[in-house]
């Protein structure tokens, strides 16, 4: 079943046609890697799906909702590459804030926070403020803030960059669990090794257009092109 459908999306960034008639659909439980060179339109696509940029044309639908409704925004969670943390909130308070903004703050979620914090080895930092954290710890905090949200679609920008090898492996395992639970995941990455076994499909963008799609078997070719 399709979670996200984008039909003929046209998006301008300044004078640039950043998405040029992009059509794609992502199914429940599907993991899609969005790839392409710098400036291809990946971030623009994420921002448009998040409802942060209004398309000039085309149609977006997410789990039956269309933007800009509040219900639409609750169908998608975004984990940016650069952590966006508020200096006045502790790590734990960030998780609370995320959950509250999706109306999902309840007791079992607190257990999930502790579980993920243990798995990503930041359980000891839950009461610390962003300024007290290393770069990797900030990234883990941002990751967990997104991973604790139950939404039909998860968008992640370069999830593996900056994480230690252990955390990269743990993230692959968590994404596998999310996929099995039916969440659709779109991620940008150049670290294709980490996607082995979980990626269903890749979509290659160039100048805002979809120019190529492929599956797990094409990973070898992709690695040669990007490594
Ligand atoms: N705020 C902006 N103002 C004007 N043009 C922009 C803006 N943001 C992006 N663009 C342009 O839109 C196009 C798509 O950019 P986008 O950031 O979506 O690419 P990307 O694939 O995410 O690139 P990268 O891999 O470098 O992050 C590029 O030509 C870029 O120069």
- How many whole angstroms from 44 Cα to the centroid of ligand 1? 6
Q: Which atom of ligand 1 is nearest to the CA of 40?
A: 21
Among 12, 20, 36, 43, the mutation site with the greatest number of ligand 1 atoms within 8 A of its Cβ is 43
Looking at residue 173, the DSSP 8-state letter turns out to be: H
In 3-state terms, what secondary structure has residue 134? coil
Q: How far is the CA of 39 from the centre of ligand 1 (A)?
A: 5
User: What pLDDT digit, counting tens, does each position of 193-204 carry?
Assistant: 888 888 999 999
DSSP conformation class of 1: -
What ipTM goes with this model? 0.97
Cα–Cα nearest to 213, from 1, 7, 2, 32:
32
Q: Please give the model's pTM, rounded to 2 decimal places.
A: 0.94
Q: What percent of the chain has pLDDT over 70?
A: 97
Tens of pLDDT, residue by residue over 14-47, are: 999 999 999 999 999 999 999 998 999 999 999 9
* pLDDT beyond 70 at 226: no
- Residue 177 C-alpha to ligand 1 middle, in angstroms? 32
Residue 46 CB-density burial (10 A; 0-12 exposed, 13-18 middle, 19+ buried): buried
The arithmetic mean of pLDDT across residues 90-98, rounded, is: 97
**Helix crossing, 165-180 with 107-119: angle to 10°?**
140
In CATH, 2-226 is 3.20.10.10:
no
- Ordered by start, the domain boundaries in the chain are 2-226
């Amino acid at each position: 079943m399709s979670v996200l459908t984008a039909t003929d999306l046209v998006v301008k960034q300044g004078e640039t046609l950043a998405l040029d008639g992009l059509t794609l659909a992502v199914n429940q439980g599907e993991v899609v890697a969005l790839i392409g060179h710098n400036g291809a339109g990946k971030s623009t696509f994420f921002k448009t799906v998040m409802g942060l940029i209004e398309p000039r044309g085309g149609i977006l639908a997410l789990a039956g909702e269309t933007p800009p409704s509040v219900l639409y925004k609750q169908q998608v969670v975004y984990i940016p590459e650069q952590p966006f943390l508020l200096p006045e909130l502790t790590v734990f308070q960030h998780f609370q804030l995320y959950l509250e903004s999706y109306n999902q703050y309840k007791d079992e979620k607190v257990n999930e926070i502790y579980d993920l914090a243990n798995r990503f080895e930041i359980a000891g930092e839950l009461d610390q403020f962003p300024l007290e954290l290393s770069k990797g710890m900030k990234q883990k905090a941002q990751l967990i803030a997104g991973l604790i949200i139950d939404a039909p679609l998860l968008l992640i920008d370069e999830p593996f960059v900056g994480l230690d090898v252990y955390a990269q492996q743990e993230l692959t395992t968590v994404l596998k669990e999310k996929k099995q639970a039916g969440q659709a995941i779109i991620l940008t990455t150049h670290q294709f090794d980490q996607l082995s076994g979980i990626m269903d499909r890749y979509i290659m963008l160039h100048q805002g257009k979809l120019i190529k799609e492929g599956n797990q078997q094409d990973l070898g070719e992709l690695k040669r092109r990007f490594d």
